[in-house]
């Protein structure tokens, strides 16, 4: 089986070709948006002394993102 020209060209230039397949853009949009936000909010904000410190900060950011906004009603509770 021959390799697509794009893959051969990418390999020759030390570039990783996309892992997606045709028509996956909508499936990947949420994940790509999340990781773009993660990089903007966390990775690019400062120089991290170690991967461990970056990983721990990522865990804290993830926990903050999962928290309901202040004043939010628990699901199933009627609004006053």
pLDDT of residue 52: 93
Each domain of the chain, given as residue ranges in start order, spans 25-66
CA distances from 65 to 37, 38, 55, 61, 75 (A): 11, 11, 15, 6, 17
Tens digits of residue pLDDT in 11-47: 888 777 666 666 566 667 777 888 888 888 888 888 8
Tens digits of residue pLDDT in 37-79: 888 888 888 888 999 998 998 888 888 888 877 777 766 666 5
Name the pLDDT band for 5 (thresholds 50, 70, 90).
Answer: confident
In whole angstroms, give the CA distance from residue 25 to residue 48.
Answer: 32
């Amino acid at each position: 089986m021959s390799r697509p020209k794009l893959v051969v060209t990418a390999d020759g230039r030390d570039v990783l070709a996309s892992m997606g397949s045709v028509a996956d853009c909508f499936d990947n949009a949420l994940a790509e948006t999340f990781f773009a936000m993660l990089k903007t909010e966390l990775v690019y904000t400062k120089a991290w002394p170690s991967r461990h410190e970056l990983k721990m900060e990522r865990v804290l950011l993830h926990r903050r993102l999962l928290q309901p906004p202040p004043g939010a009603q628990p699901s199933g509770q009627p609004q006053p």
